[in-house]
């Protein structure tokens, strides 16, 4: 057994404020979910540090950055992307050290998407157009209306731990692209790749104050200080629905712009006419990728009754064949959860499922290695059947490598069951019937629907959820709109 230890236990991760790396006296531990070793010590920002960052950001808005053209900002974003590429292996190591995810996933998904986020929004702002409308008044005068986008101001960014660089850059890149300044707080669980990004941004020649990084927690720490700061113009957050509600209350008095991508209890629907092997492989990916720690994962699976038993058996065989190990082990397919604390939450649902009467098809416990990995945060991929739709394990987001598989008999029935949820982020439909695919996808009450695939993203398309899964859309033009103050100019000729 081996484990990637990318950051020395003596390393101190500092804030990046007004163009300089700064230390604060309070520190906290960042530990490995693989074996519990100390990855780094992390500075915790206090209210004064957050205030200094916001003040620097507001000052930078009226400096040279505020006068940059879209082409100039695009060049900056490309330099940042080049900087990540040049230090690709360092970013992979940092991401793996914090999350324990397989090295190959970090290489092909996390860091690659971080680079793509900067390049995509750089190219978008160079080619983005605007709206123009012509009209004639009753007295015969000609009028034109056109739309301009200006920076929104200082953007407060709070990002999660499950896909650290991917989701951090998903917000930083368009915010900078539109000429804003940023104060960003990564998750306290995964601070390493954000700190590396600050180094890259510094080396790319971004003016002081344009990008600021503060580390810390949520309540009574950096997160709360940031969301409550009067100098912050807008807040974008990805994370738990309950935290989103708290942030919404914090920004309400200031009537600040918000964009939330929150939790999900996503469903995958497999019709009997689906390409069977592709559907099994797809549900495997959508349930167990990143140990189930993706807001888009399928925790509810509905399978048409004629193929139900066969499907459950095939999914069980594939789940039991998953290689669970340290991130750099040969052939590893699933790593640990992000922390032992999160593992306790997931294990509590394993216990709850038994209490609610679930049939455990496979998993439901903790793998044992007989070495230091037993000090990590590993759990078994777990499949349940037999629970009613009202069971807590079927209605509450677990955020682990779990799914409940249930049979269904008709299209109307399964659509009703899919939509009977407090969440509405994403859904999957597996069928070879083209008419059914379009019909069912339109009836899902979700922000995204995949047909015969999962996690396939064109970054120009809208991303976000409904109900408790979020507020607003980001991606492509939708990000340009959110991170802008949109002004209509009306001219009578």
**Closest listed residue to residue 464, CA positions, set 119, 154, 167:** 167
| Arch. (CATH architecture) of 11-262+469-492 | 3-Layer(aba) Sandwich (3.40)
Task: Specify the higher pLDDT residue, 5 or 71.
Answer: 71
Q: What is the pLDDT of residues 403-462, one digit of tens each?
A: 999 999 999 999 999 999 999 999 999 999 999 999 999 999 999 999 999 999 999 999
The sign of the CA dihedral 154, 155, 161, 166 is negative
How much is the average pLDDT of 460-482?
A: 96
pLDDT band for position 4 (50/70/90)?
very low
- Is 80 exceeded by the pLDDT of residue 5? no
Q: What is the pLDDT of residues 85-141, one digit of tens each?
A: 999 999 999 999 999 999 999 999 999 999 999 999 999 999 999 999 999 999 999
Start and end residues for every CATH 3.40.309.10 domain found in the chain: 267-451
Q: Is 245 left (phi over 0), alpha (psi -120 to 50) or beta?
A: alpha
pLDDT band for position 10 (50/70/90)?
low
Beta carbons within 10 angstroms of residue 344's beta carbon: 11
Q: What is the pLDDT of residues 408-417, one digit of tens each?
A: 999 999 999 9
Q: What is the pLDDT of residues 217-263, one digit of tens each?
A: 999 999 999 999 999 999 999 999 999 999 999 999 999 999 999 99
- Is 50 exceeded by the pLDDT of residue 7? no
- Is 70 exceeded by the pLDDT of residue 282? yes
How much is the average pLDDT of 396-408?
A: 98
Token couple for 224:
């709360």
How much is the average pLDDT of 311-333?
A: 97
What is the dotted CATH code of the domain comprising 267-451? 3.40.309.10
Spatial contact of 470 and 135, defined as CB atoms under 8 Å apart: no
Q: What pLDDT, on the 0 to 100 scale, is given for residue 463?
A: 97
Q: What pLDDT, on the 0 to 100 scale, is given for residue 394?
A: 98
8-state DSSP, 298? E
Q: Residue 33 contacts by C-beta under 8 Å, 6 or more apart in sequence?
A: 99, 100, 335, 336, 337, 338, 339, 340, 376, 377
Active-site residue list: 261
Start and end residues for every CATH 3.40.605.10 domain found in the chain: 11-262+469-492
How much is the average pLDDT of 32-46?
A: 97
Spatial contact of 275 and 433, defined as CB atoms under 8 Å apart: no
């Amino acid at each position: 057994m081996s484990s990637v230890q990318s950051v020395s236990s003596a390393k101190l991760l500092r804030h990046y404020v007004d163009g300089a790396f700064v230390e604060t006296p309070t520190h906290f531990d960042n530990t490995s979910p693989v074996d519990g070793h100390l990855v780094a010590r992390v500075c915790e920002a206090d209210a004064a540090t957050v205030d200094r960052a916001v003040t620097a950001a507001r000052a930078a808005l009226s400096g040279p950055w505020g006068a940059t053209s879209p082409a100039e900002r695009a060049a900056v974003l490309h330099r940042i992307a080049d900087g990540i590429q040049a230090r690709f292996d360092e970013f992979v190591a940092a991401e793996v050290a914090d999350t324990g995810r397989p090295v190959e996933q970090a290489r092909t998904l996390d860091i690659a998407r971080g680079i793509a986020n900067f390049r995509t929004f750089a190219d978008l702002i160079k080619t983005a157009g605007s709206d123009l409308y012509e009209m004639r008044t009753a007295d015969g005068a000609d009028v034109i209306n056109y739309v301009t986008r200006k920076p929104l101001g200082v953007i407060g960014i709070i990002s999660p731990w499950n896909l650290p660089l991917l989701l951090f850059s998903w917000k930083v890149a368009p915010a900078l692209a539109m000429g804003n300044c940023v104060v960003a707080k990564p998750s306290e669980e995964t601070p390493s790749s954000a700190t590396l990004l600050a180094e890259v941004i510094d080396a790319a020649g971004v003016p002081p104050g344009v990008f600021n990084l503060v580390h810390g927690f949520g309540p009574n720490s950096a997160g709360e200080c940031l969301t409550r700061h009067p100098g912050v113009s807008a807040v974008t957050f990805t994370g738990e629905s309950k935290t989103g509600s708290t942030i919404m209350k914090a920004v309400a008095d200031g009537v600040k712009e918000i964009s939330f991508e929150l939790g999900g209890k996503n469903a995958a629907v497999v019709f009997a006419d689906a390409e069977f092997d592709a559907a099994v492989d797809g549900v495997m990916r959508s349930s167990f990728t990143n140990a189930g720690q993706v807001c888009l994962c399928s925790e509810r699976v509905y399978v048409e009754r004629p193929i139900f038993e066969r499907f459950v058996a095939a999914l069980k065989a594939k789940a039991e064949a998953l290689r669970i190990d340290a991130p750099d082990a040969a052939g590893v397919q699933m790593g640990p959860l992000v922390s032992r604390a999160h593992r306790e939450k997931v294990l509590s649902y394993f216990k709850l499922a038994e209490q609610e009467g679930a049939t455990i098809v496979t998993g439901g416990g903790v793998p044992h290695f007989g070495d230091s990995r037993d000090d990590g945060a590993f759990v078994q991929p777990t499949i349940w059947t037999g629970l009613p739709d009202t069971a807590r394990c079927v209605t509450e987001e677990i955020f682990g490598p779990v799914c409940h598989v249930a049979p269904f008999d008709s299209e109307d029935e399964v659509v009703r069951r899919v939509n009977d949820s407090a969440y509405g982020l994403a859904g999957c439909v597996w069928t070879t019937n083209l008419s059914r695919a379009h019909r069912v996808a339109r009836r899902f009450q979700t922000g995204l629907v995949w047909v015969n695939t999962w996690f396939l993203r064109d970054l120009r398309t809208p991303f976000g959820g409904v109900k408790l899964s979020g507020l607003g859309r980001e991606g492509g033009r939708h990000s340009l709109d959110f991170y802008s103050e949109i002004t209509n100019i009306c001219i009578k000729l």
